Amino acid sequence: MNAYTSDKIITLKWNEHIRQRPGMYIGKLGEGSSQDDGIYIMVKEVIDNSIDEYMMGFGRTIEINIKENQVSIRDYGRGIPLDKAIDCVSKMNTGGKYDSDVFQKSIGMNGVGTKAVNALSKYFKIQTIREGKMKTVEFSGGLITQDYPVETTTELNGTRIVFIPDEEIFGNYKFYFEYIERMLWNYVYLNRGLTIALNGQRYVSKNGLLDLLTQNINGTTVYPIIHLQDKDFELAITHMERGNGEEYFTFVNGQNTIHGGTHQQALREAIVKTVRDFYKKEYDPNDIRQSISTALSIRIQDPIFESQTKTKLGSTDMKKGGPTVRWYINDMVSKLLNNYLHIHSDVATALQNKIIESEKDRKEIAGIRKISKDSAKKSSLVNKKLRDCNFHLTDEKSERRLETTLFISEGDSASGSITKSRNADLQAVFSLRGKPLNTHNKTKKVVYENEEFNLLQAALNIEDGIEGLRYNNIIIATDADVDGMHIRLLLLTFFLRFFPELIKGGHVYILQTPLFRVRNKKETLYCYSEEERIAAIEKLSGKPEITRFKGLGEISPDEFKHFIGKNIRLDPVVLGKNTMVDELLSYYMGENTMERQTFIINNLRVEEDIAI
């Protein structure tokens, strides 16, 4: 037995604690394929400080440059006091935001953000410019490597932060610019008058959340977007003609609360109450919110988030001694939305017709689901197809919920390999049988009657919407051949058609698996492309053994664990800002047309066996 003595008591330095427990400060690590990954939290933490300067009336432009994993962020605010530059990025619980007279309704209030970025970067530089003077300090892993003397400068006031995330912490990471761009758009939507430039491209918004909803909805709306505003409250709302769930973009003090919280729940309740009161009918909440798309922004004093990454609001009060968040949002929605519907009778009629249509659809689906649920085979079939993980998403406050994963694989062989090599605590496996149904232009009734998708919805726990989503990450794991690609398209069609919020929320990925194994007696290399294969042969020299993997089932469980563990390679499924989903699905998954035939002919690629 190990003795518990005084020499077992260890005091970590501030940077050592962050580097040993990064999840406490930036959530999960990841390699950049998820919008929740730590490298994006690091970017956000620095930008948040620049945004707070803008909110206080200083600096209307933020310049960001990202090249080869080096991030540079320059604002034109007041600049950190020169003698406090080191303290503000390397001493915990140090910053100006503890003084509520200086920073009101700020995003970050606990003095941790840039310290975490500093500690988790292999290179970190701060430059602060005030009144013709500039102070520059460089760090590595949170430790000072160069402390430059104050110098004179002609640069405008402000702060420049440059950092490179440490590969020792994040592994083989890369930035996906789609996530960075989405983050920057959100900043300008919420801060009209602010300009952000990323590698020279400018981001600016004139209409706030109206612009956000306009650019993010895919498809046809039932009525024009309703845009409501008050001092610390802004709401944009509409319903889509097609859709199977609810979509919310929510923000608190400019922070994108992608995991919701007390304000989002209050909004859902407030919409139902206001609609019921306006029409004087007790409509079912699900019928009122079916295919709704909303964006909400509120500003409160001293917000309490459930983690350092600030993705879920825990506050119940707007400010100390003030109204609750729930009361405030109910009051705002009731007053502003009710008044809007009275003035715009055409919108009120269109909304009511949509609710009645949703009610009809729900009752029709309920009958099918009742038959399905009453079937004695239902649970046993799900259990046969699903190898569940041990973690349960009911533990809302656990950061590990972000790592929960469901692999959707084809066939027993591939499912078996993944099941044997997975992390059973966090990774589950769902096995498909053959090619699923093409759901393009299919009704909900047809899809619910399809056993494969019926069981997949049950496994994901999304039959009543994605609020109860059982796994944060959904990974499509199919062979890299024609049949595998077709299955990917069929699954993506299903998600886009009936649960687009899963893709918009960054939950869906494609698993990359190696095409080749190149090895000699000393070393084994796995290659994901022809270029990697050639490089591996050159590195190992001689005549290494080369294996071409033709399917996931050919990869042994011992090997598979290398591809779904720490070094997993994922391609996130991301919708572009201007992607029109209906047109996209119609072109690729609809009736065959001359245009599609021409596309196939022009892009035909014949794979030949590689002589090895």
Q: Are 194 and 220 in contact (CB under 8 A)?
A: no
- The stretch 90-111 carries a mean pLDDT of 54
Encode burial over 529-555: b for 16+ CB neighbours within 10 A, e otherwise: eeebbeebbeebeeebebbebebbbeb
* Alpha-carbon gap, residue 298 to 331, rounded angstroms: 13
The residue type of 583 is: E
- Backbone dihedral angles phi then psi of residue 409, each to the nearest 5 degrees: -120, 165
Fold of 210-366: Ribosomal Protein S5; domain 2 (3.30.230)
Task: HSE, CB side, 13 Å, CA atoms: give it for residue 346.
Answer: 5
Residues 6+ apart with CB under 8 A from 415: 387, 409, 429, 430, 431
- Distance separating alpha carbons of residues 126 and 118, to the nearest angstrom: 9
In this prediction, residue 297 carries a pLDDT of 95
Q: How far apart are CA 173 and CA 33, in angstroms?
A: 8
CB atoms within 10 A of CB 198: 17
pLDDT in tens, 302-343: 788 776 567 778 777 777 667 888 999 999 999 999 999 999
Strand, coil or helix: 578? coil
pTM score: 0.82
In this prediction, residues 564-591 reach a mean pLDDT of: 78
Q: What is the mean pLDDT of the chain?
A: 85
CA distances from 362 to 160, 247, 286, 443, 444 (A): 54, 18, 9, 12, 10
CB-neighbour burial class of residue 340 (10 A; exposed 0-12, middle 13-18, buried 19+): middle
| pLDDT tens per residue, range 456-469 | 988 998 887 787 88
Q: What does the block give as tokens for 307?
A: 């983690």
Tens of pLDDT, residue by residue over 384-439, are: 789 999 886 545 556 678 889 999 998 888 888 899 999 999 999 999 888 888 98
Choose which CATH entry (3.40.1360.10, 3.30.70.270, 3.40.50.670, 3.20.20.100) describes domain 377-513+550-602.
3.40.50.670
Helix (H, G, I), strand (E, B) or coil at 502: helix
The pLDDT-based confidence of 2 (bands split at 50, 70, 90) is low
- In angstroms and rounded to an integer, the radius of gyration of the C-alpha atoms of the chain is 26
The closest of 427, 432, 405, 470 to 557, measured between CA atoms, is 427
Which tens digit of pLDDT belongs to each residue from 503-554? 888 899 999 888 899 999 889 998 988 899 999 999 998 889 999 887 787 7
CA dihedral 115, 117, 123, 127 (to 10 degrees): -60
Which helix (H) or strand (E) is 88 found in, with range? Answer: helix 85-90
Task: Pick the closest to residue 509 from 532, 527, 491 (CA basis).
Answer: 491
Beginning with the edge strand found earlier in the chain, give each strand of the sheet holding 545-548 in spatial order.
524-527, 516-519, 545-548
| Of the candidate ranges 14-18, 111-115, 125-129, 510-514, the one whose mean pLDDT is the lowest | 111-115
Give me the mean pLDDT over the 89-118 stretch.
64
The angle subtended at Cα 240 by Cα 238 and Cα 244, nearest 5°, is 120
User: Which token pair is 235?
Assistant: 């709401």
283 residue type, one letter: Y
The CATH classification number of 15-203 equals 3.30.565.10
Q: How far apart are CA 205 and CA 197, in angstroms?
A: 13
- For residue 598, the SS3 value is helix
pLDDT band with cut points at 50, 70 and 90 for residue 370:
low
Task: Report the pLDDT value the prediction gives residue 103, as an integer from 0 to 100.
Answer: 47
Q: Work out the angle at residue 378's Cα, subtended by the Cα atoms of residues 426 and 387, and round it to the nearest 5 degrees.
A: 20
Is residue 315 within 8 Å of residue 327, measured between CB atoms?
no
Taking only the tens place, the pLDDT of each residue in 168-219 is 999 889 999 999 999 999 999 999 999 999 999 999 999 999 999 998 887 7
Averaged pLDDT for residues 444-455:
84
| DSSP helix/strand/coil, 291 | coil
Dist CA 220 CA 462 (whole Å): 23
Q: Largest Cα–Cα distance in the chain?
A: 81
Cα dihedral 243, 246, 252, 254, rounded to 10, equals: -10
The C-alpha atoms of residue 18 and residue 14 are separated, in whole angstroms, by: 7
Q: Please state the domain extents for the chain.
A: 15-203, 210-366, 377-513+550-602, 516-548
Please report the sign of the dihedral spanned by the C-alpha atoms of residue 491, residue 443, residue 577, residue 54: negative
Q: Which residues 6+ apart lie within 8 Å of 322 measured at CB? A: 301
Q: Which residues contact 178 (CB under 8 A, 6 or more apart)?
A: 572, 574, 576
* 317 DSSP β-pair partners: 324
Token duo for residue 565: 């563990």
- How far apart CA 225 and CA 236 sit, in angstroms, is 6
Q: How many alpha carbons fall within 13 Å on the CB side of residue 480?
A: 16
Higher pLDDT: 7 or 566? It is 566
Q: How many CB atoms lie within 10 A of CB 241?
A: 12
Helix and strand tally (H, E) in the chain?
A: 22, 23
Angle among Cα 288, 289, 291 to the nearest 5 degrees reads 120
Q: Are 222 and 349 in contact (CB under 8 A)?
A: no
Q: If DSSP codes are grouped into helix, strand and coil, which group holds residue 538?
A: helix
Both tokens assigned to 46: 């620095």
CA distance 25 to 399: 11
Query: Residue for token digits 């993705």?
Result: 311
What are φ and ψ of residue 298, in 5° steps? -130, 160
Flag whether pLDDT at 363 surpasses 80: yes
Task: Please state the three-class secondary structure of 128-197 as a single string.
Answer: EEECCEEEEEEEECCEEEEECCCEECCCCCEEEEEEEECHHHHCCCCCCHHHHHHHHHHHHHHCCCCEEE
Looking at residue 402, what DSSP letter applies? G
Which structure tokens are listed for 359?
Answer: 């009610």
- Give the model's pLDDT for residue 371: 59
C-alpha span between 315 and 317 (Å, rounded): 6
